[in-house]
Structure 1
Amino acid sequence: MYPADIKYTPSHEWARIEGDTATVGITSFAQEQLGDITFVDLPAVGAQVTQGSEFGSIESVKAASELYSPVTGEVVEVNEALEGAPELVNQDPFAGGWMIKVKLSAEPQGLLDAAAYEQTAVSCH
């Protein structure tokens, strides 16, 4: 259910780390809890993000939530498709629904692997 090549946070964000860049988004569990996503507020390219700190917000028909970065570094790309089609997060949270790409400036600490995250998500039900 959760891709093994991705690391997860207990707050339901994910990071796919490839070299010195991490692609960041929210998990399928998070988008299911939110319901239909209506808006995603993301930082601009060049913004600095810090692991564990807020980097944006997401709104749905049910609620608004902050987004917390699983990594520290500089935003090098933003998924601009989400501006016109925030529902991509619902349709494919681990691929088309990614949010930002970050050039890492520090090694992420304490992220969960897929099995550990799945236990966290299950205990949230």
Structure 2
Amino acid sequence: MIKKPFLRYRDLTGQPDYILAFYHYFSPLDIKAGEKVRLDHKMQVIFYSYLMERKGMLVKEGLIYYVKLKRIVRVKYTNQERRYIESVINKIRGTESGRRKERIVQPAKKCINCGFLPYCNPLRQGSLYVREI
């Protein structure tokens, strides 16, 4: 088991809570305090799996442990997930290069306690924060 490994592949970085080493493969493990299984948590673990694979590790699945639920969720990592995460990365890169503008709208209560609020610097519009990238 590796605790808090820093993963980097080219300009991509990530830091799962743990990497578990099994007999023939590795799995990222992320620990969540939430009370329900969420898609963004699954995508995060798939992204970690992608980074690990790019570093030469064989990854078959990612794991999410929900503390309040006392439950482990297994997230398969196959060619389909690899292609999906690559398409997401390419979409983000296209947005960053200015080829396409994206408008992000979040409820104010979600942004107000976010640690990235000073860096993101969205505009408050009523009960929402809005940012264009």
Superposition TM-score, scaled by structure 1 size: 0.31
Bigger Rg over Cα: 2
Q: Which has the higher contact order (CA 8 A, sep 6+)?
A: 1
Structure holding more helix per residue: 2
